[in-house]
Structure 1
Amino acid sequence: MSRHAPGHDDGPHTSGGPPPGGRYDALVIGGGIIGLVTAWRAAQRGLRTALVDPAPGGGAAWVAAGMLAAVTELHYGEQTLLGLNMASARRYPDFVAELEEASGQDVGHRACGTLAVAFDADDRAHLRELHTFQQGLGLESEWMTGRECRRLEPMLSPGVHGGLRVAGDHQVDPRRLTAALLTACERAGVAFHRDRAERLLLDGDRATGVELSGGTRLAAERTVLAAGSLSGRLAGVPEDVLPPVRPVKGQVVRLSVPERYAPFLSRTVRAVVRGGPVYLVPRENGELVIGATSEELGWDTTVTAGGVYELLRDAHEVVPGITELPLVETCAGLRPGSPDNAPLLGPTALPGLLLATGHFRNGVLLTPITGDVMAEALISGELPPEAQPFTPQRFMAPPNTGPAPAATPSPGSAAPSPGAPGAAHSPAQEQHT
């Protein structure tokens, strides 16, 4: 059977009663990392806030490696997104300090840097071009020879012929981060409704709340749809504001580094092997995260033998010593991808409805700035300047005031309701690690 991330779904449950008058200031649909940070920041700003999710604390972040790689993951044509990524990366140290104080929990933030390596002439040429591109944008990265790379990381394959060292691309443990956000929300007074959101409630041309699977109706001045890859499937949302978000499956493998092999890697290592990217992220607790596949297969979260094989094969090309390490977990999650792979943040054309979704591969990196941006949008109704390029209205369809028809899952896949966890674990896994 499949296992889901924490926030155990044991049926409808509510913590925190409705506010005076029965109407929340802010109602967040989705209890993944983006929904949690939105709710936390909203509550900190004095808004009476509620969050709807049958199992808060799950979602794609439970599977993610947690690379804060604004520079290393830069793609051509994504300069606008780079600005948002860099702004969020700069906020991370203060964000971590504040969250750890608010929750009393360590989030596993490591300022360790990243090393991207090349194996052949084509890879080396590509990295050289990327280095030039990064320098042209004023980003800090350092070219290194293969020997210099192996001096930094002795476990690297002798086949490494060069690499880029990015000292400012760090990491955080998304599982710890999510747990800390959950605690911070509870301490800030966020009301949790552990149930599924079934339908957006409308009064004329305004969103007024949500109906839950058990029939309960929650009223709110503003509703935030932050349900990750399921954000486009909430019934009742008018078609012209329905977020164009798709699920992109990612499989990940977790190994354990015994003390006798430590330190195995001192920083995140990335490479392109057989045309596909692979990364190895070492944790302070001895965990080594290897990822990730990128598969457009609907809402399928099956962990496959082929996916695991490819990850281990490619990681072995980079660091041959991984074959000696115990395999402790395999899992799969769904990244929420938008048409331009950038997030949808802030008010929609429907008054009372805001979006915080579509973060694709940058959800963990963009957590600090998303919380700040959404809190400001909930208070003022406006996006801060740094987030204005990511308004949902850039994808606005021709006006249509009717509700969207019930979506049909793609053949061979079934989509749960918004708020359902977006992660599955290997059948052999007995406990989360």
Structure 2
Amino acid sequence: MISAQSEIPRLTNRTWLMTVLVGVYASNFVDRMILNVLQQPIKAELHLQDWQLGMLSGTTFAFFYAFLGLYVARVAEHGDRTKVAAACILLWSVMTAICGFATQFFHLLLLRIGVAVGEAGATPTGQSLISDYYEPEKRAGALAIFQSGNTLGHVLGAVLGGVVGQAWGWRWAFIIAGAPGLILAALMLFTIREPRRMAGAREPVPDLKVVASALFGKRTFRWMALGTAATLFASYSISSFISPHLMRSYGVSLQTAGLLGGVGGGLMLGVGTLIGGFSAQALARSDRSWLLRVPGITLLAAGPLCVLTFSGLALEVTITAFLLMNLCVGTFQGPVFAINHSLVSARMRATASAILLLLITLGGLGLGPLLIGIASDRLASMSFGGENFATVCAGGSSPLEACALASAEGLRLALISCCLVFAFAGICFLRSTRTIAADVLD
């Protein structure tokens, strides 16, 4: 009988797998980030309101991403995860490129649904593969490296959206963003081998109800999922609207907003992800509760930094606070998914990832940008002082100074509400540490 240890792939295989998966995850976030950076020119050309931008970047995307992710995870549990991932990469890349041909809100809405359907397969399959390539005590660090791919995606998406969007227009930015996915799909399909699954993998794949019961029956999962959803509610809202905020409140160009908000914020998220993953992994050698205590502490610190970011202070203060806030926010990713996989057996991991993603995506990405967009429109209308704000200031392109001031103030006030959510998330993570020892399986 082959032992679990002997089934662990060699270091060279791990390195190539991680290289490809980081590229895949980066592409995943390029195709999300680019929409955030390009929101202002899209809003102006298609005459959209902030709630519609929230629908495009948040609610509609999140709904299909979350529920299709659960379906893709079930397919991955039964079959070849590399083939599933390759098909998903191809789909979201093609849909992203076609976004460049959209001429109205409804077109973009349908295409973003297509992107969401494809991207739904990236995280569950990637995390499941990593859990079969790495021992339990190394998963937090490995998953942190994988999750740091979103940093690369943030940076590339911000640069592509800002530079190409300003030089050639937002349509070309989408077309170019979709191209690398074709190469990544081929690499996943032809160079990554489906590994022999780890201990417990020869068991039949449990029903969805069994996996859900195994997760929800544990207090660690319930508090951790609530804390993660709250974190993503605030962070996705800020990520979606940081570029429009900088352009409206500080008058910076599209390229500058992309570089400051996207590149700077993305880099700090990545640094935070790596620091959070490896520091929590090191501290957890003596006490496993540190895996969730680290993000609990850092998210409490993110709250006041968020207040500084959106208090209307000088641009230098705003950007400094924003970068430090992102450093704190990034710490949760590796530890959360490492703990999540340790709460269930090997044959449940892709589904466990999808269940967690379902909850946090709907609660975070699904609600955050939409509610902040609605709040922004409402607060802008109140600041404008008239009931016809949406008509007079349609698309944010009106030459009236009052429209610009109201739009900027409405968005700033909406975003500052995210700060309390970070503090709540930190409390949830600290609460989840009380039951880790009793709930983990490996």
Same fold (TM over 0.5): no
TM-score using structure 2 length: 0.24
TM-score using structure 1 length: 0.24
Q: Answer 1 or 2: which has greater strand percent.
A: 1
